[in-house]
Structure 1
Amino acid sequence: MDALRSQLRGHHATYLELTRDVDVTAALRDFVDRGGDHVIAAGGDGTVHTVVNELMQFDPGERPQMSIVPLGTANDFAGTLTIPEEIEEAARLFLDGEAVPVDVVQIRGEGIERFYSNVAAGGNCVRVSEELTDEVKARWGAFCYVRGAVGVLADMESYRLDAEIDGESFEQLDSWAVLIANGKTNAGRIEVAPLASPSDGMFDVVIIRDGGLMDMVEIVSGNLLGKFLECDQVIFRKAKRIRLQSDPPMRFTLDGEVIDKEPIEFEVVPAAIKMFVGPDFTR
């Protein structure tokens, strides 16, 4: 953080540490009312997720632009935006660059309305996330997600899924997991949606069907070889909207935030937030 403060020396900046005692909504409203127009999320995907949800509470005309300085364990969405991990280089993007419109995804359900920027991962993916204690994250770094999957792979739960993807219906699908991706990677730079782009007005839907041990081997090896979407157990679609329900109800993680209630509908919000991106980002 000291390195970031050094980069911002000479610029008027307000610093806010995201603790449980902080009213982020009130702080950002005060910031905007005082003329603030640029929010920097200095942290990991969880920090980015918090900031995105807060910014989406503003009307589009007053919504601040956003930058990411990747300081977290995985920094998946920063990777999709090709933001350098070096603080000085990340800062140079928003000090000298120009923001571009980036999509986010809105979810709805009974008692739920949230937004996310990277990946919603449902089904057995949630069980992996719940394996990740702070100690495991500290010891394994980005590889902690692989470490967390070891126990889950031996006991995969099946979900019977009904889905409607931009009008196309799927009924009674036995599935292991559903990924609704705005970004390319999840869980420590694992490429789950290689064709995803957060600037195309669509998200990528990946449904992993239930199967046996060899199906699991094919999926894992396909991911390692960059042919994940070609696996027989994978259903892939690009879409703007999906409605789904499952038995048992499928929980999701939204960029690390576990949603205990079942989301019913996902819909893309095109060009929702202007963000500063890396030089290799392709719109």
Structure 2
Amino acid sequence: MKADEEGAVDDLVANEDAIEYERVVVLNPVSGNANHREQVQRLATEYDCTVLETQGEGDAREFARHAAENGAAVVAAAGGDGTIHEVVRGLDDADALDAVTFAVIPAGTGNNFAGNVGVTGIEHAFEVLDAGERRRIDLGTTNGRPFVNSCVGGLTADASHQTDPEQKARLGVLAYVVNTLRLMTDYEGLPLTIAASDEGDVTWSGDAVFVLVGNGRRFPAKGRTQANMEDGLLDVTVIEKTPTANLLQEATMRRLFGSETENVTHLKTPALEIAVEQDSPVEFSLDGEKGEWDGLTLGVRPRTMELCVGEEYERYPENSGE
């Protein structure tokens, strides 16, 4: 833990007597356009929630762990997908996923996971936290590390990491699209071999432009990105590198805007092995948090976490008539 993270947790412990842990909101005040802090604080007071405000990387994970170990019944993440990822990891660190209900308060840029679970805004999130339906959902795992929404590698992961806060504030989700289009003509692709547990030795091999392993997220289908979060399966999409820039552009644009293309492979599987066929490791993003690996072992922990969901959450999104 870094010194500033230790300081934040020390401050939390020092004020232990003043903290009510029944409902805890872990707030990242600088996520998204950083204009949500006062609204979250006001609504937290209205809904009898205690706010723990992060100061730096790692705080959300430590605060979630600490809250769970001190008897919190509900822990919410107020921020973007990275904050959600940290809070889920903190609950997992505390071995509290069976005992604590998780909620999401969308205060990031894209808020993909919140949209997938039917949470449409900050005020709506508190309504859902207070009285919304609870569902037990799967968690994905990457080399044993949990993720709630997706594990992504390739072009869009690179574009996401090269999208700076000013672009996000100015363009919102479009910032990711702009950077994807900027990078695509020079992108080398990822040399990968992919094996699904129920598909034999080799399921797919080649140079990938994009790999999405989704728990809550899937390849867009008519604009809807929610995967089935209760089926014990990962929703996998691989887009292969094509021989010309025009075909690469076509494949990328079709992915971005939800159409199909012959260069896309879809799989549903409870377990997956991804081998990187080069000497250097490859960067993947887990719920927006990046890391480098030379191989991934992915799996599912079925129905592991209780989640507050909104009215638009689809238990069976594949049957929703999109």
1:44 to 72, 75, 80: 80
2:194 to 160, 163, 171: 163
Q: Name the CA distance, whole Å, in 1 between partners of 2:79 and 2:180.
A: 24
Task: State the partner residue of 1:77.
Answer: 113
Task: State the partner residue of 2:33.
Answer: none
Task: State the partner residue of 2:21.
Answer: none
Contact 1:107 1:115 in 2 (8 A): yes
Q: Deviations over 1:196-230 (max 9, x none)?
A: 222222121111111023422432443366333xx
Task: State the partner residue of 2:213.
Answer: 180
Q: Deviations over 1:84-132 (max 9, x none)?
A: 11x2222111111232112121101xxxx42211121112233212311
Say if 1:60 and 1:247 are closer, same or farther in 2 by CA, change over 3 A.
Answer: same
Deviation, 1:170, is 2.9
Q: Name the CA distance, whole Å, in 1 between partners of 2:159 and 2:57.
A: 28
Task: State the partner residue of 1:9.
Answer: 45
Q: Name the CA distance, whole Å, in 2 between partners of 1:21 and 1:175.
A: 31
1:245 to 275, 279, 288: 275
1:239 corresponds to which letter in structure 2? T
Task: State the partner residue of 2:71.
Answer: 35
Deviation, 1:160, is 2.3
Task: State the partner residue of 1:218.
Answer: 250
Identity %, equivalent residues: 27
User: What is the TM-score normalised by the length of structure 2?
Assistant: 0.76
Q: Deviations over 1:120-153 (max 9, x none)?
A: 1112233212311122222211111012113211
Q: Name the CA distance, whole Å, in 2 between partners of 1:165 and 1:70.
A: 33
Q: Name the CA distance, whole Å, in 1 between partners of 2:276 and 2:253.
A: 27
Higher mean C-alpha displacement, 114-123 vs 60-69: 60-69
Contact 1:124 1:157 in 2 (8 A): no
Q: Name the CA distance, whole Å, in 2 between partners of 1:226 and 1:73.
A: 20
- Whether 1:206 and 2:241 are equivalent positions in the alignment is no
User: What is the TM-score normalised by the length of structure 1?
Assistant: 0.86
Say if 1:225 and 1:145 are closer, same or farther in 2 by CA, change over 3 A.
Answer: closer
Say if 1:213 and 1:11 are closer, same or farther in 2 by CA, change over 3 A.
Answer: closer
Matches within 5 A, 1:1-283: 1-9=37-45, 12-20=48-56, 23-24=59-60, 26-59=62-95, 63-85=99-121, 87-108=122-143, 113-168=144-199, 169-170=202-203, 172-184=205-217, 194=225, 196-211=227-242, 212-223=244-255, 226-228=258-260, 231-248=261-278, 249-283=281-315
Q: Name the CA distance, whole Å, in 1 between partners of 2:149 and 2:223.
A: 11
Ranges in structure 1 where 5+ consecutive residues have no aligned partner:
none
Ranges in structure 2 where 5+ consecutive residues have no aligned partner:
1-36, 316-322
Q: Name the CA distance, whole Å, in 2 between partners of 1:32 and 1:11.
A: 19
Say if 1:2 and 1:270 are closer, same or farther in 2 by CA, change over 3 A.
Answer: same
Higher relative contact order (CA 8 A, sep 6+): 1
Aligned length: 274
Contact 2:218 2:236 in 1 (8 A): no
Deviation, 1:195, is 6.5
Contact 1:242 1:265 in 2 (8 A): yes
Say if 1:195 and 1:71 are closer, same or farther in 2 by CA, change over 3 A.
Answer: closer
2:311 corresponds to which letter in structure 1? P
Say if 1:195 and 1:141 are closer, same or farther in 2 by CA, change over 3 A.
Answer: closer
Say if 1:161 and 1:145 are closer, same or farther in 2 by CA, change over 3 A.
Answer: same
Say if 1:27 and 1:38 are closer, same or farther in 2 by CA, change over 3 A.
Answer: same
Say if 1:149 and 1:221 are closer, same or farther in 2 by CA, change over 3 A.
Answer: closer
- Runs (4+) of structure 1 exceeding 4 A deviation are 21-26, 189-195
Deviation, 1:192, is 8.5
State the SS of the aligned residue for 1:20.
coil
